[in-house]
């Protein structure tokens, strides 16, 4: 399996998983690749940096500082992107780099949300389809106060909110314990 960072004509960056580099080229030739954001079929490989680990005897004792603040050159390129002085390829590279940075930020946010949700769920009890009954019992003092999570339909959730019962959806998809392998 090989993973390529792909970019569409609208500068949306996304991953594509292929059996081989040849599979990518076949799908590209047959116009089978499309952007999941906008549906564009004008898709090409994006600039990628491979993640190759160092040998164990070459590991750094500390991480080097990498300045990620915007540089004046990028600002100048953006400001001059319509002028004849800056080739369109350079402007597109800057745009591609921005999209890759946004994709990395999106990935970091998803990872953070996942960690937060997992920490919250450690202190919570899975009640499955009994969620509505359990949360009402807790709200009306018929059961001890505790954190719970479970299944609830949109209609049931709306009814609970109308009753003044505070509930919130989980921010990330969740696989119930009885459905895990």
pLDDT tens, position by position, 102-125 = 777 778 888 888 888 888 888 889
Distance CA(64)–CA(82), nearest Å, equals 36
CB 93 within 8 A of CB 155: no
Distance CA(138)–CA(120), nearest Å, equals 18
Among the listed residues 77, 173, 63, the one whose alpha carbon sits nearest the alpha carbon of residue 118? 173
CB 13 within 8 A of CB 33: no
Write out residues in the chain with pLDDT < 50, as ranges: 62-81
Identify the pLDDT of residue 76: 43
Identify the pLDDT of residue 123: 87
pTM of the prediction?
0.42
Identify the pLDDT of residue 3: 82
CB 103 within 8 A of CB 13: yes
CB 148 within 8 A of CB 134: yes
Sheet holding 43-45, edge to edge: 13-18, 2-8, 43-45
Q: Give percent of the chain above pLDDT 90.
A: 18
Identify the pLDDT of residue 120: 83
Identify the pLDDT of residue 64: 45
> 94 — phi, psi (to 5°)?
-65, -45
136's CB contacts (< 8 A; 6+ apart) are 142, 160, 163, 165
């Amino acid at each position: 399996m090989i993973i390529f960072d792909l970019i569409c004509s609208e500068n949306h960056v996304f991953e594509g998983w292929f059996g081989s580099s040849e599979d990518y080229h076949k799908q590209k030739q047959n116009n089978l690749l499309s952007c999941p954001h906008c549906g564009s079929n004008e898709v090409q490989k994006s600039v990628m940096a491979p993640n190759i680990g160092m040998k164990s005897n070459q590991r750094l004792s500390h991480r080097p500082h990498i300045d990620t603040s915007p540089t004046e050159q990028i600002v100048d390129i953006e400001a001059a992107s319509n002028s004849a002085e800056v080739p369109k390829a350079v402007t597109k590279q800057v745009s591609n780099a921005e999209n890759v940075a946004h994709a990395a930020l999106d990935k970091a946010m998803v990872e953070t949300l996942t960690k937060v949700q997992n920490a919250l769920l450690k202190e919570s009890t899975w009640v499955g389809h009994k969620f509505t009954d359990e949360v009402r019992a807790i709200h009306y003092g018929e059961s001890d106060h505790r954190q719970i999570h479970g299944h609830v339909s949109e209609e049931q959730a709306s009814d609970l909110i109308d009753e003044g019962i505070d509930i919130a959806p989980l921010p990330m998809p969740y696989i119930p314990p009885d459905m895990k392998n």
